[in-house]
Amino acid sequence: MTKKEKVKFVIKTLEDLYPKIHIPLDHKDPYTLLIAVLLSAQSTDKGVNKITPKLFEKADNPYDMVKLSVEEIRSIIKPVGLSPMKSKGIYGLSKILIEKFNGRVPNDINELEKLPSVGHKTASVVVSQAFGTPAFPVDTHIQRLMFRWGFSNGKSVKRTEQDAKRLFPKILWNKLHIQIILYGRSFSPARAWNINNDVIMKKIGRKSILKKLNYK
């Protein structure tokens, strides 16, 4: 198969498996999505979804969030890890949203990246899923699968994102990045990977990786 044929096969397979997708993180608007994505750093979506109802019950908008102290925020989000940094980030970005954006989350990836504790991936998720702006956030699942499929060299998230945007049609980015994540979790995990369950890898996988797995 040529690379172009492989890309088409991946797109078709993912669409067949996941014709309808939803964002794994529970939220109701751009602000709650921003907070949920920030909390998900080095944490599971399941863990974040257990914490956010407690946090959003007290504050689901920047105006209410800044009424809480950093320590109060930390006490609620502590189970998801990195709570000292995340609590400061949540309070700090809420304050900036009020002062600079009238309490609204901007639909601008560059402005989002300037907010405390908001990196490129978080900003990409927010603009793509909250506003429909084409973006291709790269997490560990996408990084792993793009490498396994031979679509990127896996040396950096930045390179993987560039390769994904080059290979996949822009109109599919917002849906496709979630489809890849869902596929990675179900069929191509980092550990306990059963190649016989990985439909895509069996079809397009690189011989060098398949050989290491003793798969023929």
Residue 169 tokens, joined? 């049609």
Q: Select which of 26, 95, 139, 203 is catalytic.
A: 139
Q: Catalytic annotation on 139?
A: yes
Dihedral over Cα of 107, 110, 113, 114: its sign: negative
What is Dmax (Cα atoms) for the chain?
60
Among 6, 86, 121, 163, the one annotated catalytic: 121
Q: Would residue 121 show up in a list of annotated catalytic residues for this protein?
A: yes
Closest to 6 measured CA to CA, from 158, 213, 205:
205
Contact at 8 Å (CB) between 123 and 112?
yes
Query: Cα separation of 47 and 57, whole Å?
Result: 17
Runs of H (alpha helix) within 115-204:
120-131, 140-148, 157-167, 173-187, 199-204
Just list the catalytic residues. Answer: 121, 139
